[in-house]
A and B are shown apart, each in its own frame.
Chain A
Amino acid sequence: MSDVLMRRSSRRAFLKTSLLVGLAVPGLPLLAACGSPAQPAATSAPAKPAEPAKPAEAAKPAESKPAEAAKPAAPAAQPAATTAPAAAAPAVKSTGTATTVVWFAGRDTTGYRPKMIEAFNKSNTSIQIDYQEQGATTTDLHDKFVTVAGAKDPSVDIVSLDVPFVPEFAAAGWTIPVDDVFPKEEQAKFFQGTLHGATYEGKLWAIPWFNNGPGLYYRKDLFDVKGLKPPKTYDELLAAAKALQTDDMTGFAMQLPQNEGGIINWIEYLWGYGGDLVDDKLNVVVDQGTAGVDGMQKILDFVYKDKIIPEAALQFRLGADVMNLFRGGKAAMIRLWFSNVGDLYKDDSTVKAGQWDVAPLPSKTGEKPGPGCLGDWNLGISKFSQKQPAALEAVKILTSYEYQRTHFLDGGFLPARTAVFDDPEIQKKYPYAKQAQASFEGLKPRPVTPFWPQMSADAVQPAFGQAMARQIPPDQAIKQMADKMRQILKG
């Protein structure tokens, strides 16, 4: 009897607790908003005391290639003193203790960068870098920095910037312009398209760090056997793919998922057919003329009609997915970033050096190479950093000729400085370097507007995804995309 009563009362207590939990839990997602600046009182975080220097880290016993990144430059072709002499080292005083700056970076799958930072920290006494990779994807890095910067938090000093982040963060007031400390004559040593991607409203907001653009990787051995040449037009691409396609090998592949990597592939075809997303004055023009529809139809035909691209390309979310196909000998041609080339040099690659090469992207007419999308990375400085001089100094060193050279030579990351390509050692190690250099001259950025990330995610990606899944026809996708883009630009 009393047993039953006990049980009932404890059950009631349990229900009461569950009610409380049930009410408290939904409050959690709302936490996301509590750092927003509507409440100035809440956001003016007390200034953090300067982080203690980490001499212990600098003094770690040398293991891998002692201070490799800092080794003296090759004697001959050495165009510029690397760390801009004009900079005259503002404010950073090495008073015995080093300043530690925090660097928010994207994921480096090669594993090279932590070693590079270790070498940096060994060879620099006044600045130490605390290198932090933020999540697996570019979006993760973006969202983390938005969280930190949105709260005006000073815990980040340097941030890696994908091209679309530059205008977005500049407009939001989260990064600082670097024109003053990065003189014009120094800027002239970079690829101009790459610099353009780091510029917003006439100011430079970041320093280009490593370059990236697409190329057409192809199986040279198979092309030679069939007496084929790398295709210059879309039609030649189709013909070559059909000639080489077997049951075990697809003729061609590219990334076509519903994400930034996917839409870039379509944007290149949009440009290839003479269209664009927006004009110089940021008017949406993607639905004017037929370029958008034609480009999309071409890709759809490649997948569903000509069947030279496997349907699985719709879920190749990463460049590595396409590269794995190619280096595993399962694709005759792929359109992919130069930044993925390193995987072809790994021991587990079925396709070895000499069996492959890279050509410029094909175009509609073949007169000029097809336009490629700029995909480089820049280094910017957080506006809320309390160690801006030290952070700037670190960025200057990291983007210097010498660092970009070793970054390429040892890590496989292509440089944003043109002169690095003239280095004989580079040319010897990377036969495709000349091709990459040519590609980088003609790269185009995606729309340079702080609205781009939203336009991409809300307008372009869903419409593209639906069109690729054949849920809606291309003309409807383009119309839907254009309407949504206009709506977003209105604010």
Chain B
Amino acid sequence: MATATGRLTGRSAVAGLLGSRARKSAQERADARLGLLLATPAILTILLIAVIPLAGTIWDSLFRLSLRFENAPRPFVGLENYWTVLGDASWYNALQVTGLVAGVSVAVELVLGMIIALLINRSFRGRGIVRASVLVPWALTTVVSAKMWAWIYDGRYGVANDLLMRLGLIDGPIIFLVRPDITIWAMTAAEIWKTTPFMALLLLAGLQLIPGELYEAAALDGASRWQTFWRVTLPILKPTILVALLFRTIDAVRMFDLPRVLTNGGPGKSTETVVLYTYNTFFTSLNFGYGSTLAVMIFLIVMCISFVYIKILGAPTQGARR
């Protein structure tokens, strides 16, 4: 319905551009008006919650803007803050942490999520319950699950240490959250645990769109399961996979609540993500100008990731149209 209206609006807009106003029927003009009217709330909402704050942040990022002292001057510094970011070791550290955690967690989630989706796409007794319970980690508030993982990793009472010691893999308890070499992976594991269900859910939705007759045809042609997966499932699932990757990558880049609750960036700054660094710049350093600059940088990064994925996404659709 919305698509239909959108298409109509588009067509009349093109007609308007070509200067063929006179040839438009009254019906078409009414449709165009209605389309615009229906789209207005969405456009206003996006303006209000995305464009205006974004513009405000970009504006702030051009000032030296510290709330530290009441009457401190707040001079316009142009792009100086952006210049500072380029030489900011803390920024590069946060970028590295974020990239590492996001890359590893999204890759692992894709594999695990695919396995889970394939499993729960089959029909078996109690499938409904299994599907619902798979979603539990994702449904939990991140702060709650982060606290939970903090207990799991606890050096004295933690389940993780208990398990590893019972299995004889370690001799004494490991304090997971204060070991620079271990903490970041402990955090990544918690992130994977939490968001794999989301990946599985999106992939499952994609799997269910694949018509059964394709599998029947594949079976008739004598394809093995492995061949069916590579030649039928995966190609049809590709757009879904890309969308899932897009969502998860953007999410992972913006990771904040897990590190804030689990490690607060420590030990040292070994788990400080870009958003956590930005938050601290705002609220601990009270440096709202530079904080805005960091926020804009994150926005740019996320936008680049989006464009890359969408470019890849766009390709097969165009091919199909031809």
On A, residues with C-beta under 8 Å from B are 7-15, 18-20, 22-34, 36-39, 42, 142-143, 146-147, 150, 168, 171-173, 257-259, 310-312, 314-315, 450-451, 453-454, 457-458, 461-463, 465-466, 468-469, 471, 491
Instruction: Give 25 A-B contacts (CB < 8 Å), ordered by A residue.
Output: A11-B209, A14-B243, A18-B246, A18-B247, A25-B250, A25-B302, A27-B299, A29-B275, A31-B49, A31-B53, A33-B282, A33-B288, A33-B291, A36-B56, A38-B289, A146-B286, A168-B286, A172-B70, A257-B178, A258-B178, A315-B178, A451-B68, A458-B280, A465-B267, A491-B68
Is there an interface contact between A19 and B68, defined as CB atoms closer than 8 Å? Answer: no
Is there an interface contact between A465 and B178, defined as CB atoms closer than 8 Å? Answer: yes
Given A33-B60, A314-B175, verify A26-B299 contact (CB < 8 Å): yes
Closest B residue, CB atoms, query A23: B306
Q: Which residues of A contact B317 (CB under 8 A)?
A: 8, 12, 15
Is there an interface contact between B59 and A38, defined as CB atoms closer than 8 Å? Answer: yes
Q: With A and B bound together, what is the CA distance between A173 and B51 in angstroms? A: 31
Is there an interface contact between B67 and A150, defined as CB atoms closer than 8 Å? Answer: yes
Contact of A24 among B50, B74, B280 (CB under 8 A): B50
Kindly provide the distance from the CB of B301 to the nearest chain A CB, expressed in whole angstroms: 9
Q: Which residues of B contact A311 (CB under 8 A)?
A: 155, 173, 175
Is there an interface contact between A15 and B313, defined as CB atoms closer than 8 Å? Answer: yes
Kindly provide the distance from the CB of B12 to the nearest chain A CB, expressed in whole angstroms: 19
Q: With A and B bound together, what is the CA distance between A130 and B15 in angstroms? A: 61
Q: A30-B56, A30-B299, A462-B266 are in contact. List 19 more A-B contacts (CB 8 A).
A: A9-B3, A15-B243, A22-B247, A23-B50, A30-B53, A32-B295, A34-B56, A38-B65, A38-B288, A172-B67, A172-B68, A172-B70, A173-B71, A315-B155, A451-B68, A457-B284, A465-B178, A466-B267, A491-B66
Closest A residue, CB atoms, query B66: A491
| Interface: B8 (CB within 8 A) | no
Is there an interface contact between B264 and A259, defined as CB atoms closer than 8 Å? Answer: yes
Q: With A and B bound together, what is the CA distance between A451 and B298 in angstroms? A: 26
Given A26-B250, A27-B299, verify A462-B269 contact (CB < 8 Å): yes
Given A23-B306, A26-B299, verify A36-B292 contact (CB < 8 Å): yes
Given A29-B298, A462-B268, verify A36-B288 contact (CB < 8 Å): yes
Q: With A and B bound together, what is the CA distance between A476 and B141 in angstroms? A: 39
Contact of A32 among B154, B180, B209, B282 (CB under 8 A): B282
Is there an interface contact between B69 and A39, defined as CB atoms closer than 8 Å? Answer: no
| Interface: B199 (CB within 8 A) | no
Q: Which residues of A contact B243 (CB under 8 A)?
A: 14-15, 18
Q: With A and B bound together, what is the CA distance between A491 and B179 in angstroms? A: 32
The interface size bin for chain B is 35 or more
Kindly provide the distance from the CB of A307 to the nearest chain B CB, expressed in whole angstroms: 11
Q: Which residues of B contact A25 (CB under 8 A)?
A: 250, 254, 302
Is there an interface contact between B50 and A27, defined as CB atoms closer than 8 Å? Answer: yes
Q: With A and B bound together, what is the CA distance between A491 and B84 in angstroms? A: 14
Q: With A and B bound together, what is the CA distance between A468 and B268 in angstroms? A: 10
Q: With A and B bound together, what is the CA distance between A14 and B310 in angstroms? A: 12
Q: Which residues of A contact B149 (CB under 8 A)?
A: none
Q: Which residues of A contact B68 (CB under 8 A)?
A: 168, 171-172, 450-451, 491
Interface residues of B in 232-290 (CB under 8 A from A): 239, 243, 246-247, 250, 254, 256, 264-269, 275, 278-280, 282-286, 288-289
Q: Which residues of B contact A466 (CB under 8 A)?
A: 180, 267-268
Q: Which residues of B contact A33 (CB under 8 A)?
A: 53, 56-57, 60, 282, 288, 291-292, 295
Q: With A and B bound together, what is the CA distance between A146 and B283 in angstroms? A: 7
Is there an interface contact between B306 and A22, defined as CB atoms closer than 8 Å? Answer: yes
Q: With A and B bound together, what is the CA distance between A313 and B67 in angstroms? A: 35
Q: With A and B bound together, what is the CA distance between A43 and B52 in angstroms? A: 14
Is there an interface contact between B71 and A26, defined as CB atoms closer than 8 Å? Answer: no
Is there an interface contact between B282 and A469, defined as CB atoms closer than 8 Å? Answer: no
Q: With A and B bound together, what is the CA distance between A454 and B313 in angstroms? A: 44
Q: With A and B bound together, what is the CA distance between A19 and B312 in angstroms? A: 13
Q: Which residues of A contact B286 (CB under 8 A)?
A: 146, 150, 168, 172, 454
Is there an interface contact between A42 and B56, defined as CB atoms closer than 8 Å? Answer: yes
Interface string of B25-67 (1 = CB under 8 A from A): 0000000000000000000001001111110110110010111
Given A27-B53, A315-B177, verify A465-B60 contact (CB < 8 Å): no
Q: With A and B bound together, what is the CA distance between A104 and B148 in angstroms? A: 28
| Interface: B156 (CB within 8 A) | yes
